Amino acid sequence: MGRRVGFQDVTEQSPIGSGFNAASTAAEVIGGQDLSGKVAIVTGGYSGLGLAGVRALAQAGAKVVVPARSAEKAREAIGDVTGLELETLDLMDPESIDGFAQRFLATGRPLHMLLNNAGVMATPLIRDSRGYEGQLSTNHLGHFQLTARLWPALRKAGGARVVSVSSKGHGFASVNLEDPNFERREYDPWKSYGQSKSANILFALHLDTLGQAEGVRAFSVHPGIIMTNLARHLDESATKRIFITDERGERVIDPASGHKTPEQGAATMTWCAVSPKLAGEGGVYCEDCDIAMPAAPGRDGGVAAWGTDRALARDFWALSETLTGAGL
């Protein structure tokens, strides 16, 4: 739930002085830690910041499972990274999620780190087989079901962490409990994206509440602004508006303003997965390798007020259980 203040646990959104910053990389935040014997699952771990995180975890000795819709395509993308297991998973397909989880549970292994990293951004309106809106389905509901199905392995770890990759884009919209799938309101790709990223934050908040007694802690993160395949649905004007380029049209890397390399973008989720400084912490939203401040006018970044609303997190969790048929 967070730090203990007096006799009450609270979610305290304030930095703890991690020793890292916006320019830190995934490898740097792991440092000299030996992750041998640890098992991690990283969705979307075959490209972009997911692959950067996978490389850092594997190089530190962790066994990393990388699920993808096409294991063959993932194998081509990953190249020479050792210590990985490639698996098949489609986050928009409930049967695929259950199948992946069953195969992992059958190995009898504990799961020490679950990094729910895969996602889509600002897509045209698509729906999964249940009729659920695509961004909510991929970014949140798929990961919700996956985490629920893997719960026995997380508990077995005796100290697991679940990291939910959100975005500063959560500020575009909170979650809509009455019409989450845009069935009665006009679809807006950015509001849909914002809702799905707010869902990631609320998911981590309530998961941490439920999991703390079982030794499972949860975090949500803003990785930064990274040019990856996530941006494939953006038109040229949106791409230019979001990603800084120089006079030659080359991408500008400026971590202080949030514009990062994949290795820098992977740092915060990796820090949340492994940092000893987060012992006893959970349910918080993090950015630039530290716990973020609440959002405030005139200050870039931070978590919106609804992202720390425990009642909203509880209600949205209940809705997610209803939509997926999954729960802890």
CATH number of the structural domain spanning residue 140: 3.40.50.720
pLDDT tens-digit series, residues 309-326 = 999 999 999 999 999 999
Picking from 150, 265, 268, 140, the residue whose alpha carbon sits closest to that of residue 206 is 140
What pLDDT was estimated at residue 247?
Answer: 62
Q: Is 324 a domain residue?
A: no
Strand partners, 5: 8
Is 326 among the domain residues?
no
DSSP letter for 293, please: P
Q: Is 45 inside any structural domain?
A: yes
190 occurs within a structural domain: yes
The answer to whether position 328 is within a domain reads no
Q: Could you tell me if residue 327 is inside a domain?
A: no
Residues in CB range of 294: below 8 A, 6 or more apart: 13, 302, 303, 305, 308
CB atoms < 10 A from the CB of 96, how many? 17
Q: Which residues of the chain have pLDDT under 50?
A: 1-10, 231, 234
Tell me the whole-structure pTM to 2 decimals: 0.91
How many angstroms separate the CA atoms of 129 and 143, rounded? 16
Residue type, 141: L
pLDDT at 79: 81
As for how many domains the chain has, the answer is 1
What does the alpha-carbon distance between residue 295 and residue 303 come to, in Å, rounded to a whole number?
5
* Locus of tokens 């392995």: 153
* 187 part of the active site: no
pLDDT number for residue 4: 40
The predicted structure's pLDDT at residue 180: 98
4 assigned to some structural domain? no
Other CB atoms within a 10 A radius of the CB of residue 120 amount to 22
> Domain limits at 270?
12-319
What amino acid occupies position 194? G
Local structure of 52: helix, strand or coil:
helix
Q: Is residue 200 part of a domain?
A: yes
* Nearest by Cα to 69 from 82, 55, 88, 94: 88
- Return the H-helix or E-strand segment holding 76: helix 71-78
Which of 46, 132, 187, 193 is the catalytic position? 193
For residue 211, how many C-alpha atoms fall within 13 Å in the half-sphere facing its CB? Answer: 34
From residue 324, how far is each of 78, 95, 219, 278 by CA, in Å? Answer: 31, 11, 21, 30
